[in-house]
Copies of this chain bind each other. A is one copy, B any other.
Amino acid sequence: MTRSVAIIGGGVIGAGWAARFLLNGWEVRVFDPEPGAAARVEAVIDRARRALPGLGDVALPAEGRLRFCSLMSEAVSDAEWIQESVPERLELKQTLYQKLQEHADPAAVLASSTSGFTPSELQLASNNPGQIIVAHPFHPVYLLPLVEVVHSARNHPDMLENAHDVLTDLGMFPLRVRGELPAHIADRLLEAVWREALWLIKDGVATTQDVDEAIRMGFGLRWAQMGLFESYRIAGGPGGMAHFLKQFGPALHWPWSKLTNVPRLDDELIAQIAEQSDDQSGDFSLDQLEDQRDRNLVGILRSLMAEGSGAGKVLRKRDVARAADLGLPRRLADVADPTRPIVTVSRAVPLDWLDYNGHMTESRYLDAFGHATDAIMAIIGCDADYIATGGSFFTVETHIRHLDEARAGAPLRIESRLLAGDGKRMQLWHEMYSGDRLLATGEHLQLHVSLDSRRVCPAAAPVAAAMRTLAKAQADLPRPEGAGRAVGDPR
């Protein structure tokens, strides 16, 4: 049976909720009388369609149906969940709930996206306060898992459990907040940083960019994967959290920040934190936590490098400088001896290339060969500038022999040559080594295409000429052992 949700308020938060429900198969009914609301919601959903379905490794349910309702009653009737995301004015919300509840199923969950108000405040003017909770999400709602769920004594435990299940089923992480307080948990932390950041700007010590770099080049990377306390637990070394607190506790009394109403870090509070930290992370040794952290950080940093964003931009710049230091050729003129195989890749195996067998996973052999192919493309003049003019090469066929294993940190070197190249079609041969060990060979057929028509077409004259020059220079190399193999051919 199709489940349906009423989205009350189609701003950026409401639209994010609409996308998350819709792409998880719910019927979504949006009520927002603002002109242009439908177009704004559709734009967010379009964005979410590119990002959310591919987030996991398993397909989501078929997309639900989206309706824009001109009457609130139409949106709300039969809805199993009602998500309110209207502006942050308490009276507005209270009045709205009275109207909503006239038409709503009394058993539906009425959840507010409020970042500031408590359930008790929201429930105050309602005849059915037990159906009202806070479900506070984070922007962009269709990607970030966190949703803070806050309740009062008026909410029945069964209803809260149901709410928890619905949110989990949407791929979210419902964090059950243990008490009612203004701004719940996350926004209190954000507010603390925000206030300190405003002081830094106001005092002229930092710009907005300085603050952002100070976050995303450092502790932001830690916090994406472990948070505050677990990171500090590791920093405490073998002594753990209690050691960390004793070492860094005194800083609380330094005049570091302008936010000076500090709690007393007495023995009781230290014991409380150390005990909670043991509950949280005590199942893992320091060594295991450090392993986890390093794998996470390498994965995050490398994903940012693929985008050339934030810390990934730093890594990319460094790679460009290193490639130049190593003399890795990126133009035909840089190739010292074109009659020999060309070293196209020199790198080490990243931590995030390993699989459950403890070695470099099969697809990363092709990933590395793909880098080698990119280098050959650049050498014959099919670089980023050329691709921007609308021509490129697509790989149409690949054969890999996985001959040996590689572990994290092991050096990799790829030597590449052209088996054929006629201006439209090129056949590449890559050999991957770690030191003297041959790890794999790759044989690849590339066709030149127009990126407009997506069809095969001849390369521009200089690229075709360079391809032929290189193919001719390498034509006298002996045919490599293993070329022309089909899978399973006898050795």
Q: Which residues of B contact A409 (CB under 8 A)?
A: 49-51, 53-54
Q: Which residues of B contact A399 (CB under 8 A)?
A: 397-400, 486-487
Interface segment out of the listed A75-83, A100-108, A211-219: A211-219
Q: Which residues of B contact A480 (CB under 8 A)?
A: none
Smallest beta-carbon distance A225→chain B, Å: 5
Q: Contact: B277 with A222, CB < 8 Å?
A: no
Tell me if A272 is interfacial: C-beta within 8 Å of chain B.
Answer: yes
Q: Contact: A347 with B54, CB < 8 Å?
A: yes
Q: Please give the number of chain A residues whose Cβ is less than 8 angstroms from any Cβ of chain B in the complex.
A: 189
Q: Which residue of B lies closest to A12 (CB)?
A: B237
Contact bitstring A201-212, B, C-beta under 8 A = 1, else 0: 111111111111
Q: Contact: B300 with A303, CB < 8 Å?
A: yes
Q: Contact: B226 with A51, CB < 8 Å?
A: no
Known: A56-B347, A290-B47, A396-B402. A260 touches B261 (CB 8 A): yes
Known: A191-B257, A300-B224. A398 touches B402 (CB 8 A): yes
Residues of A360-396 at the interface with B, using a CB-CB cut-off of 8 Å, are 361-367, 369-371, 384, 387, 392, 394-396
Q: In whole angstroms, how far apart are the Cα atoms of A12 and B236 in the complex?
A: 9
Q: Which residue of B lies closest to A443 (CB)?
A: B487
Q: Which residues of B contact A326 (CB under 8 A)?
A: 58-59
Known: A273-B201, A279-B209. A188 touches B351 (CB 8 A): no
Tell me if A193 is interfacial: C-beta within 8 Å of chain B.
Answer: yes
Known: A47-B290, A398-B487. A179 touches B197 (CB 8 A): no
Q: Which residues of B contact A280 (CB under 8 A)?
A: 207-209, 212
Q: In whole angstroms, how far apart are the Cα atoms of A292 and B484 in the complex?
A: 42
Q: In whole angstroms, how far apart are the Cα atoms of A199 and B358 in the complex?
A: 43
Tell me if A460 is interfacial: C-beta within 8 Å of chain B.
Answer: no
Contact bitstring A33-76, B, C-beta under 8 A = 1, else 0: 00000000000000101110111111111000000000000000
Q: In whole angstroms, how far apart are the Cα atoms of A290 and B15 in the complex?
A: 14
Partner of A299, one of B303, B358, B408, B486: B303
Contact bitstring A259-287, B, C-beta under 8 A = 1, else 0: 11111010001001100110110000000
Interface segment out of the listed A91-99, A125-133, A137-145, A464-472: A137-145
Q: Contact: B217 with A397, CB < 8 Å?
A: no
Known: A198-B263, A202-B263, A398-B402. A358 touches B182 (CB 8 A): no
Q: Contact: B322 with A309, CB < 8 Å?
A: no
Instruction: Name which of A202, A256, A269, A384 has the most chain B CB atoms within 10 A of its CB.
Output: A256
Q: Which residue of B lies closest to A404 (CB)?
A: B454
Q: In whole angstroms, how far apart are the Cα atoms of A311 and B147 in the complex?
A: 12
Tell me if A433 is interfacial: C-beta within 8 Å of chain B.
Answer: no
Q: Contact: A58 with B218, CB < 8 Å?
A: no
Partner of A487, one of B304, B357, B444: B444
Q: Contact: A144 with B297, CB < 8 Å?
A: yes
Known: A183-B257, A217-B145, A362-B366. A198 touches B269 (CB 8 A): yes
Q: In whole angstroms, how far apart are the Cα atoms of A481 and B402 in the complex?
A: 24
Q: Which residues of B contact A53 (CB under 8 A)?
A: 348, 409, 411
Q: Which residues of B contact A307 (CB under 8 A)?
A: 292, 295-296, 299, 352
Smallest beta-carbon distance A426→chain B, Å: 10
Q: In whole angstroms, how far apart are the Cα atoms of A173 and B321 in the complex?
A: 15
Q: Which residues of B contact A461 (CB under 8 A)?
A: none
Q: Contact: A216 with B224, CB < 8 Å?
A: yes
Smallest beta-carbon distance A143→chain B, Å: 5
Q: Contact: B186 with A218, CB < 8 Å?
A: yes
Smallest beta-carbon distance A214→chain B, Å: 4
Q: Which residues of B contact A257 (CB under 8 A)?
A: 183, 188, 191-192, 195, 259
Q: Which residues of B contact A139 (CB under 8 A)?
A: 231, 234-235
Q: Contact: A210 with B185, CB < 8 Å?
A: yes
Q: Please name 11 further chain A to chain B contacts, defined as beta carbons within 8 Å, in addition to the given A54-B409, A299-B307, A427-B488, sorted by A numbering.
A: A54-B408, A57-B305, A173-B213, A182-B254, A186-B215, A192-B192, A192-B195, A198-B252, A208-B277, A212-B228, A296-B309
The 6 closest A-B pairs by CB, nearest first: A212-B227, A299-B303, A259-B259, A146-B218, A220-B223, A54-B350
Between A and B, 18 residue pairs with Cβ closer than 8 Å are A54-B349, A56-B322, A59-B411, A138-B219, A185-B210, A186-B214, A193-B193, A194-B228, A195-B262, A199-B263, A208-B277, A212-B280, A213-B227, A215-B228, A225-B310, A260-B261, A399-B400, A427-B487
